[in-house]
Amino acid sequence: MAIQTLAVLPEQFNIHGLAPDAPIPQAVLSSDMYFIGKTDDQLSLVVPDTIDITSEDIDKNWRVLELIGPLQLSMVGIMAQIGQVLAKAKVSIFIVSTFDTDFFLVKDNKLSVAISALRQAGYTVNE
């Protein structure tokens, strides 16, 4: 495994589930960072907890570990390796990706466990 570095983002995030035909709130589009996923069944939004959204489902208090990139799309196994470390430490994850990198969301109350497990596995984690 090549040594990878992750950075802990300072803010907390919430994961929202909305109806698939729901409009994306303007507050989301005005944010510096957000993630949108849409299927026939649901519109999912991952946004900083400072953005107030009315949603059908909400899961609060997530922290983000950003894998410092850029990463090439041809790289294999990075998410699986980090996921395995966190699973062994009994830390649930929610992953979102961009063209350049991956973001691992962990519950705020498990952040220190995640950081410790990653460091023990040889990763660098910047807080």
User: How do residues 81-96 score in pLDDT, each as one tens digit?
Assistant: 899 999 999 999 999 9
Grade residue 1 by pLDDT with cuts at 50, 70 and 90: very low
* Mean predicted confidence (pLDDT) in 66-83: 72
pLDDT digits (tens, 9 = 90+) for 14-62: 999 999 999 999 999 999 999 999 999 999 999 999 999 988 899 999 9
Q: What is the CATH number of the domain that holds 110?
A: 3.30.2130.10
Q: Quote the domain boundaries for residue 87.
A: 5-126
What is the Cβ-side half-sphere exposure of residue 53, based on CA atoms within 13 angstroms?
Answer: 32
Q: Which two tokens stand for residue 8?
A: 């802990």
Tally the domains of the chain. Answer: 1
- The number of beta carbons lying within 10 Å of the beta carbon of residue 62 is 22
